[in-house]
Amino acid sequence: MIDILNLTFPELERFIVEDLGQPKFRAAQVWQWIWQKHATSFDAMTDVSKQLRAKLAEVAEIVLPEIVTVQTSSDGTEKLLLRLRDGALVETVILPSTGQDGSVRIAQCVSSQIGCAMGCTFCSTGTMGFIRNMTAGEILSQVLVARMQLGDNRIDHPIIRNLVFMGMGEPLLNLRETTRALEMLNHDKGMDFSPIAPFADRIRFAVLYGDDVILGEAPACGQLMRAYEQFGSGVVGVKEVSREAIRKYSSLKVEHIQDNYFRCTDMVEKPQPGQEFSLYSILGRCVLPPEIFDILDNTPPGAGGEIQLTDAMATLARRDGMTAVDFTGTRYDMGNKLGIMQASVEVALQHPEIGQDFRAYLKELCKTL
């Protein structure tokens, strides 16, 4: 049986025309029933011919995950535990917020893998180890289930308009299925999630490392975007680190251009002693051109047996050159407990509501140390 949710629109067209002998327009009908009208069976597709519905039921199926539990917090956040077809369990989170105009805005955090190979000690998923990659259909089925949970069935202006791939797993280690999911997500006959342009098709985009928090007056991504506009090449945010720390990060080959800007022509991930280009390392932020995905498709596994984004950026740097920005702001490492606590204290001190009281609390606490 074919999981219809796991077909991109071109794949669905070929299936409908070549395998089922139906006219091409039927593919658009089926696609819209699934991704716009949230049909859970072929019988629900009332403007599709009975003959085609019967054929579809014989050879294909719509496989949605089962909601096992729903945990709701006081701020309205809902964490859904989902059971996939093979029994694997994944989590997705519905995150409500209120805009400045008072309107309710909802984002969703989706998973891309069962388990995770990264092994981050601060993340419970990291303790599971890697089990398998999720398919594009499984990734997007989380969105369908969330919309059904919320009764979010408006085609033109659905409630969920923001997605973050920060659930279980590392999406760039499941690049093929994540890219297929994004292609399906943005299709104009389906959810049409980002109607401006398909993801990374012809626009630059920012990469924010999940284990780095950068605090400062000027947003780090804004600093990198300005460099991209000025120099017209991929941009990485960098800081000088110690020789001991460089082993854990990346090392860049750089030449000073002006101010805090450098020309980067090569880099290496987690260098061994003697492999360092410099003590400048990428910390937390990048702005990359869409061509990086073509490079990633042809990048072999590197450090740790994983496909490394740094290796793809090294190819880009050697081929086209990149710009490195020694950004202003303080970077905190969320990969260790001390970094998490340091960032939490700094954010609390700057908070408009509790900052003053928290500062007073710290002063009193320091008297006891």
Separation of first and last alpha carbons in the chain: 66
117: pLDDT strictly greater than 90: no
Instruction: Please report, rounded to a whole number, the percentage of residues in the chain having pLDDT higher than 70.
Output: 95
Share of the chain above pLDDT 90, in %: 61
What sign does the dihedral 330-218-356-99 (CA atoms) show?
A: negative
Please, which residues have CB within 8 angstroms of residue 186's CB and are 6 or more apart in sequence?
A: 192, 193, 194, 195, 198, 199
Q: Are 162 and 146 in contact (CB under 8 A)?
A: no
**Per residue in 302-321, is it b (16+ CB within 10 Å) or e — as a string?**
beeeebbbbbbbbbbbeeeb
DSSP code of residue 328: S
Nearest C-alpha neighbor of 123 from the set 168, 160, 162, 64: 168
Domain spans in the chain, listed from the N-terminal domain onward: 2-61, 66-185, 205-332, 336-366
pLDDT digits (tens, 9 = 90+) for 296-307: 888 998 877 888
At the fourth CATH level, which superfamily is domain 66-185? Aldolase class I (3.20.20.70)
Looking up tokens 């450090």 gives 303
pLDDT of residue 197: 45
Average pLDDT over residues 167-176: 91
Superfamily of segment(s) 205-332: Spore Coat Polysaccharide Biosynthesis Protein SpsA; Chain A (3.90.550.10)
The span from the CA of 171 to the CA of 353, in Å, is: 36
Exposed, middle or buried: residue 291 (CB in 10 Å: 0-12, 13-18, 19+)?
A: middle
Average pLDDT over residues 112-123: 85
Q: What is the pLDDT of residue 211?
A: 83
> pLDDT at position 231, please?
87
Of 136, 139, 128, 113, the closest CA to residue 306 belongs to 113
Is the CATH code 3.40.50.1110 the one for domain 2-61? Answer: no
pLDDT bracket for residue 357 (50, 70, 90) = very high
Q: What is residue 198's predicted lDDT score, i.e. its pLDDT? A: 46
Q: How far is it, in rounded angstroms, from Cα 272 to Cα 276?
A: 7
The pLDDT value given to residue 196? 46
205 band by pLDDT with thresholds 50, 70 and 90: confident
| 233 vs 203, more confident | 233
Residue located via tokens 């947003």: 219
Mean pLDDT computed over every residue of the chain: 89
H or E element that contains 303: none
pLDDT at 155 over 80: no
Q: Do you know the residue count of the chain?
A: 369
Task: Return the pLDDT at 199.
Answer: 47
Element (H, E) at 184: helix 175-185
Rounded-to-integer distance, Cα 208 and Cα 251, Å: 18
Residue range 20-29: mean pLDDT, rounded: 94
Please answer whether residues 178 and 165 qualify as being in contact, where contact means their C-beta atoms are separated by less than 8 angstroms.
Answer: yes
Q: What is the pLDDT of residues 306-336, one digit of tens each?
A: 888 889 999 999 999 999 999 999 999 888 8
pLDDT in tens, 232-290: 789 999 999 999 889 888 999 999 999 999 999 999 988 989 999 999 999 889 999 98
Q: Residue 158 has what pLDDT?
A: 67
Report residue 39's pLDDT band, with 50, 70 and 90 as the boundaries.
Answer: very high
Q: Is the pLDDT of residue 154 over 80?
A: no
Q: What is the pLDDT of residue 11?
A: 95
For residue 195, is pLDDT > 60?
A: no
pLDDT digits (tens, 9 = 90+) for 62-103: 999 999 999 999 888 999 999 999 999 999 999 988 766 677
Alpha carbon distance 21, 163 (integer Å): 36
Enter the tokens of residue 9: 């629109």
Give me the phi and psi of 316, to 5 degrees please: -60, -40
Identify whether the C-beta of residue 3 lies closer than 8 Å to the C-beta of residue 22.
no
What's the whole-number mean pLDDT along residues 173-201?
A: 78
Pick from 60, 18, 13, 67: nearest CA to 39: 60
Is-contact 158 146, C-beta < 8 A? no
pLDDT attached to residue 200: 46
